[in-house]
């Protein structure tokens, strides 16, 4: 019985520390971190080239048919010079390009949200801490690409196909940041 009374005797002192503990916890209620990891650069950025065992005319027909069937918009198709310029917009940019990755976490009181996604993901919602304020972001990304295909006749009825591509990733951000009791919205592109 004595042990029990000792604990009850110390209980009011512990309750006196409770406001101090709550102030310390609430002072760090909302916190977080944001990390961007850049992509590993590819070893070789030169155009891709293959040699096929078909003449330039048959290779030309097959190449144009292939590109037309794959949702490429054929811009310049110059049969005499054997050059094809095409553009494309894939539905999922991260399937074609690597722009690195984003990791973010935000903790409010006892709830923690973690985000980990490819930087070229087409649509993502995530949260960050900016200047000790919670920011909710919704980002969309669209990739457009341009490809050039060059056909070069070789000896013995073969043809070299050389392809190069360039990409442009466009991102739009809708950011909401809490200020006092309101949410301020910003659109960035």
Per cent of the chain over pLDDT 70 is 84
Tell me what pLDDT residue 140 has.
92
Residue position matching structure tokens 């070069």: 152
Q: Which long-range contacts (CB under 8 A, 24 or more apart) does 127-131 make?
A: 127/32, 128/32, 128/34, 128/104, 129/30, 129/31, 129/32, 129/33, 129/34, 130/177
* Numbers of helices and strands, H then E, in the chain: 2, 10
26: pLDDT strictly greater than 80: no
Whether 45 shows a pLDDT value over 80: the answer reads: no
- Token code pair at residue 40: 């590993």
For position 70, what pLDDT does the model report?
79
Residues sharing a CB contact under 8 Å with residue 57, sequence separation 6 or more, in sequence order: none
| Confidence bin at 3 (pLDDT 50/70/90) | very low
> What letter does residue 98 receive in the DSSP assignment?
-
Q: Integer distance in angstroms from the first to the last C-alpha of the chain? A: 70
Confidence band for 33, pLDDT divided at 50, 70 and 90: confident
Residue 161 β-bridge partners: 50, 151
Instruction: Find tokens 């037309």 and name the residue.
Output: 68
pTM, full prediction: 0.64
Q: Give the bridge partners for 51, in sequence order.
A: 160
Q: Are 89 and 142 in contact (CB under 8 A)?
A: yes
pLDDT band of 29, cuts 50, 70, 90 = low
Is residue 75 scored above 70 in pLDDT?
Answer: yes
Q: What is the mean pLDDT of the chain?
A: 81
pLDDT at 41 over 90: no
């Amino acid at each position: 019985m004595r042990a029990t009374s000792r604990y009850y005797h110390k209980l009011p002192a512990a309750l006196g520390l409770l406001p101090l503990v709550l102030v310390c916890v609430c002072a760090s209620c909302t916190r977080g971190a944001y990390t961007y990891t850049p992509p590993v650069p590819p070893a070789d950025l030169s155009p891709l080239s293959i040699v096929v065992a078909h003449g330039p005319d048959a290779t030309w027909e097959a190449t144009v048919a292939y590109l037309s069937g794959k949702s490429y918009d054929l811009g310049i198709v110059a049969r005499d010079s054997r050059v094809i310029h095409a553009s494309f917009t894939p539905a999922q940019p991260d399937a074609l390009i690597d722009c690195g990755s984003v990791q973010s976490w935000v903790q409010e009181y006892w709830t923690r949200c973690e985000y980990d996604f490819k930087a070229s993901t087409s649509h993502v919602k995530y949260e960050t801490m900016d200047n000790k304020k919670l920011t909710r972001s919704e980002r969309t990304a669209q990739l457009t690409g341009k490809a050039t295909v060059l056909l070069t006749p070789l000896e013995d009825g073969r043809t070299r196909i050389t392809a190069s591509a360039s990409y442009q990733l466009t991102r739009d951000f809708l950011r909401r940041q809490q200020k006092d009791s309101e949410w301020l919205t910003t659109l960035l592109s």
